[in-house]
Amino acid sequence: MPTMSPARTFASLGVPAPLEAALATDGITAPFPIQTATLPDTLAGRDVLGRGRTGSGKTLAFAIPLVARLLANPRRPRPGTPRALVLVPTRELANQVAATIAPLAKAARLRHTVVYGGVGFGNQVAAMKAGVDIVVACPGRLEDLIGQHHCRLDQIEITVLDEADHMADMGFLPGVKRLMDRTPADGQRLLFSATLDRDVQVLVDRYLHDPITHALDPEDSPVDAMTHHLVETPLVDKLAVVTRLAAGHDRTLLFTRTKHGAKKLVKQLGQQGVPAVELHGNLSQNARERNLAEFTEGNVTVLVATDIAARGIHVDDVRLVVHVDPPAEHKAFLHRSGRTARAGADGVVVTVMTPEQRKDVRDMTRKAGIRPIVTAGVGASHPLLEELAGPKAPHRTVHIHRPAQPQGPTRNGQGRSGQGRDGQGRDGQAARSGQGRNTGDRSGQARTADTRGATGRGSSTPQDRGGRAGSPAPAPDGRSRRRSRPRQRPTSR
């Protein structure tokens, strides 16, 4: 398990004092092993191939040298000409990487922005025109901005490819190559990946110069701090078993195979008094960010997701991961499971299977190197479920009223959707431009009428057209419709 190394400090690894101070302000005072291993080389300007299992601290391992390089040669950013680039596969990962970079960039007085599809171009174009030092981007939208002459990459000094294997899996490899070809050949390149397969090796051979490889863990290695359970239940009892697992006090992440399955399960949980939010590629960007924020901030403790959340999403204190629908292959199983037991914490992973799935699931766990605890004949009242999920939480309604947000782009580029082709995750299949449009679909609501017993924070922005679950839609002339008692008909005179 990833443990902090007391023998080394960030200063001893060569991290500049302003960045060390920024880390200390956030309570980060000692490096994780992957940071200890890579920072001396990355800070020295070497190309590095870093491989480590999920939750190992890869983001900070490349964020520090990226900011340090620009800090060593400060200059005013020029319009449309960034100096550092981080390519990532999904919107959610882009936001999380940017959040890690933000305090370091602030300490170095650098500007950064996030670029991805599913939102309007306005704020992203404005950021480019104002000038930024660092761009965190999904490949598709960045190519769109370059094609519209809002951005150029010929002044990039350092490039990072994060979750390179995931970008290859999602079909982004051709776009990544086109973007890398636009960066200076003599720039520093860092590539971080959980696994090193043939597609990733193509990127390494083509773009990294005499790279130093740091592989802290065997590829696809399971995390020791996880406890794995296989729970076998008849199909007729499966929903009841999943509901009981989701009903505990702890933060829980449920994985389904399809977008429809995630949406349906959120509704079913709500009907049983267990508030949950969904995360999948059919949601508008506003809804995805809102739902993830609800889960991250602890306003709801259950997130139902497709494999869009299996990679790159970091939420603290997820103690329980449930494979409601077991994945087809062992890599997806490990990446899903890796949302718990992060950064040294303990975690529990439960795979729910029917008797018909027994052989396939056991083959998958064997390939993953997992020896799970197997329990057959589990129903909703089985004592194991309380042991795994804990006592039922007293889910109560919390009403949080949010002010209406104006139409159009907002400060973070998250305004009206309409264009974009990035970050839909596996279930979105690297969507083309236009599929990220906010259509105001009802699946984008954080709460439906069946789940309004949740936090009440599901009131949506005007972009999502939803309002709180159960609220009337706006009238065509823009005036609110008020819900009132039926008017009594006058009695005949």
Looking at residue 313, its pLDDT comes to 67
Residues (pLDDT < 70) of the chain are: 1-7, 52-56, 216-225, 311-314, 316, 341-346, 395-493
Tell me the CATH number for domain 17-215. 3.40.50.300
Looking at residue 367, its pLDDT comes to 87
Give residue limits of the domains in the chain: 17-215, 226-389
CB 419 within 8 A of CB 120: yes
CB 128 within 8 A of CB 79: yes
Give, in degrees to the nearest 5, the angle at Cα 258 between 252 and 261. Answer: 65
- Taking only the tens place, the pLDDT of each residue in 367-412 is 888 889 999 999 989 999 999 988 887 754 333 333 344 333 333 4
Which three-class secondary structure state does DSSP give residue 150?
coil
SS percent in the chain: helix, strand, coil, step 5: 35, 15, 50
Q: Give the helix/strand (H/E) hosting 64.
A: helix 58-72
Q: What six digits make up the tokens of 39?
A: 């920072």
Cα 115 to the chain's mean position, in Å? 15
Alpha helices, DSSP H only, in 162-258? Answer: 164-169, 173-182, 198-207, 238-246
- CB-side exposure of 196: number of CA atoms within 13 Å? 16
Q: Give the helix/strand (H/E) hosting 374.
A: strand 373-375
Residue with tokens 């971080």: 192
* β-pairing verdict for 112-115 and 251-255: unpaired
Query: d(Cα 85, Cα 87) in Å, to the nearest integer?
Result: 6
Task: Give the closest residue to 115 by CA, choosing from 105, 493, 132.
Answer: 132
CB 395 within 8 A of CB 453: yes
Edge-first strand order for the sheet with 347-353 is 277-279, 302-305, 251-255, 318-323, 347-353, 226-232, 373-375
Q: Give the helix/strand (H/E) hosting 102.
A: helix 91-107
Q: Do domains 17-215 and 226-389 have the same CATH topology?
A: yes
CB 59 within 8 A of CB 104: no
Q: 239 to each of 380, 385, 401, how far by Cα in Å?
A: 9, 13, 32
Strand partners, 248: 392
Looking at residue 147, its pLDDT comes to 97
Number of CB atoms found within 10 A of residue 160's CB: 28
Looking at residue 55, its pLDDT comes to 60
Number of CB atoms found within 10 A of residue 15's CB: 23
Decide if domain 226-389 falls under CATH 3.40.50.720.
Answer: no
